[in-house]
Amino acid sequence: MAKSPPSSLSAATVDLAADKAAALALTPVSRETEARLDAYLDLLQQWQAKTNLVAASTLPQLWTRHVADSLQLVSLAPDVRRWLDFGSGGGFPGIVLACAMAEVGGHVTLVERIAKKAAFLREALRVTGSPGTVILADIGDNVDRFPQRLDCITARAVAPLNQLIGFAEPLMGPGTRALFLKGQDVEAELTEATKYWKIEPRLHASLTGGQGWVVDLDRIDRQNLTASREPAHDRH
C-alpha cells in the first residue's frame, strides 16, 4: 500500500532543510555557528506570528534569502571584528554576523528604532549566546551613541544608498569599511549618491544570485563640504 503524502508541515520542514543545505553550500560555517543560527531562526519564526520581522513570502527561503545573504559579508571581510549594523530589523545581517563572531571574539552593535524589533534582537543575542549590543535609536540622530572604533558598517533594506552613506560618513575612521547589501537598482542609487559623495565603490555580485549586490566602500568624502548631509531635494 502506498504511503500517504507528507503533511504540509512535513513538506515545509523538508523544504527548509533543503534551503538550509543550499545556503550552507554557498556560505559554510562551523557546527557551533550553525547551531546558533538554528536557534536564531527558531526564535524568529516564533516571534514572526506577533511581530513582522521578515516578509512572510520569504519564510520558506530563510536560509538562502536571508542567512546566506548576510553571511557573505563575513567572507568579504574575514578580518573584521567590530561591526555596526544600521536598522537591524529582524536581524539581517546583524544577528547573523553576531552568530559568526562568537567564535572569533568579535562584537556587533545593532541599531534599531522600533522597540519591538529591538526587544527581539536582544532576545536573539541571549538565546544564541552571541556577542552584541542593541541600541534603540533612529540612525541619523544618535551618532554619538555608536562605537567610535569600528571595522565595518553594514545595512540591508534600510534606506537609499545616498542616505546610508550620510549616516556612515561620521563613523568612517582609518581602516573602516562599509558593506551595504543592495538590489537591482544599485546603479541608479550609486549615480544619485555620487552627486553628494566622493566614493570609489567596489561592487560584489551577491553569492545568493538574483540581482543582489554588495556595495563596498572604504572612504567617504563630501562633494561639497558646506552642504548638508541630506540632498537638497530632501530639505524643507
| The predicted structure's pLDDT at residue 88 | 97
pLDDT score recorded for residue 142: 65
The residue ranges of DSSP E strands in the chain, in sequence order, are 82-86, 107-112, 132-136, 152-156, 177-182, 197-198, 202-205, 213-217, 221-222
Provide the pLDDT for residue 64.
95
pLDDT of residue 11: 54
87 is in an annotated binding site: yes
Residues recorded for the chain: 236
The CATH topology of domain 31-234 is Rossmann fold (3.40.50)
Is 156 flagged in the annotation as binding?
yes
Convert the pLDDT of each residue in 168-197 to its tens digit: 999 999 999 999 999 999 999 999 999 999
Q: Given this model, what pLDDT does residue 226 score?
A: 54
Q: Does residue 120 have a known ligand-binding role?
A: no
